[in-house]
Structure 1
Amino acid sequence: MRLTTFLTLVKFSSKKEIERIALLTFFDLKIKSKETFTLSEMGFTLQELGFARPNASRLKDNLLKSKDFVRVSGTTDTFKLHLRVVERLEREFPEISSKSEEVISDDTILPEGLYKGTRGYLENLAKQINASYENRIYDGCAILMRRMFEILLVLTYRHLGREHEIQDADGYKNLSTIINYTKSNRVVTFQKETEEVLDDFRQIGNFSAHKIQYNCKKGDIDKIRLPFRAAVEELLYQSGIKK
């Protein structure tokens, strides 16, 4: 079942915020076998669906108070549905099955609406990122995601007339240096949740490219998928590519 079909089925728009989160978590559990979510992930998901992004502190308090959710042991902001709730939703929506062979339309990295009409080479790169993820070529996906992030970061500095700040005698400085400079000098701004994982985009790409015994897994990509999408969108606007 597609996410859009599910949202219509459960009358998602009429639900309260905590109910929406329960339904999205249930969908991910049944369709993607993903049991847990972080506050940041859920905030991005709700925002992408066109709803207001909840305040993280308020959301955390509401989840802790709710009997429908359980905080994952050893974490501060990772939650899952209580088994009782899963069983109730399974009875209410028996048509939701992880055995469905239908392709899930939202199971990608960058939605077409984000990159379409930007620049040809960016569109091609975005399509390669999506294709590698959808075809389970996760090392390739990680490397391409790193490349996309680095390109957009450079284009943003260029648009701001500050490209020289990330260059040295040999050309562009390494991505780690550029990220640290960006975060400390606030040349380019990101939402807090995105800024916290900027170096993860670089690191996972480097691991896939250079670590001999490392193989990137789907879970590695999924951890950074939503913040990566947010970073790409923010950079497309700050670089002047999208208006």
Structure 2
Amino acid sequence: MRDPAPINALKAAKAIQEDVRFQMGPPEEGLRSQTSNVIPFALVRGTRGYLEKVANQANGCYENGWYDAAAVMIRRLLETLIIEAFEKHAIAHKIKNSAGEFFYLRDLISITLSETVWNLTRNTKQALPRLKDIGDKSAHSRRFNAVRGDIDPLLADLRVSVQELLYLAGLK
């Protein structure tokens, strides 16, 4: 007959570990994602802390299968980078309403695509509306739930767009 002591000790250790995890809660600032499947961290490393955190969250959501959350974080990153680019070129007034608030992403993208201070590549011009669409559906559609197949086809577009916007914003 097997000695039950090692099995009982393992069960006790697991129970203690769960109790500690429950009592401590998640880390204050979250965990580092294990992968960079959505946004290569090398793109945002050394830019701004908030950009690094959003990219990390997009990657972490994706690797955990939280595709709606990943799409929303992608949307947020693009919105932020567009604003950064306009601010870098001292033309942020073009993307604000009369109250000084930034426009919604639809208008930000439209104005970005037609801005003459820079010349976006064809790939980014085509990608931005597609990237916005999945983010909008995930953020605003009550009956839409993103799946991996919604995100994966957009990854190359995302990488190109993020890198181009980082350059336009003077962050790389």
TM-score (norm: length of structure 2): 0.75
Letter in 2 for 1:194: T
Q: Work out whether 1:174 is the aligned partner of 2:107.
A: no
- Structure 1 CA distance for aligned equivalents of residues 148 and 110 of structure 2: 27
Write out aligned runs for 1:1-243 (5 A).
108-170=37-99, 171-242=101-172
- The aligned length equals 138
- Structure 2 CA distance for aligned equivalents of residues 173 and 124 of structure 1: 23
- Structure 1 CA distance for aligned equivalents of residues 115 and 159 of structure 2: 23
Bigger share in strand: 1
Aligned to 1:85: none
Question: Mind listing any 5+ residue stretches in structure 2 that lack a counterpart?
Answer: 1-33
Q: Is the 8 A contact 1:156 1:240 kept in 2?
A: yes
Question: Mind listing any 5+ residue stretches in structure 1 that lack a counterpart?
Answer: 1-104
Letter in 2 for 1:218: R
Letter in 2 for 1:214: F
Q: Is the 8 A contact 1:190 1:231 kept in 2?
A: no
Higher relative contact order (CA 8 A, sep 6+): 2
Distance verdict in 2 for CA 1:188–1:143, change over 3 Å: farther
Spell out, residue by residue over 1:153-207, the C-alpha distance to the aligned partner (whole angstroms, 9 max, x if none).
0000000010000101241111111211222233443321221121122121111
Letter in 2 for 1:142: A
TM-score (norm: length of structure 1): 0.54
Higher CA-based Rg: 2
- Structure 1 CA distance for aligned equivalents of residues 126 and 117 of structure 2: 16
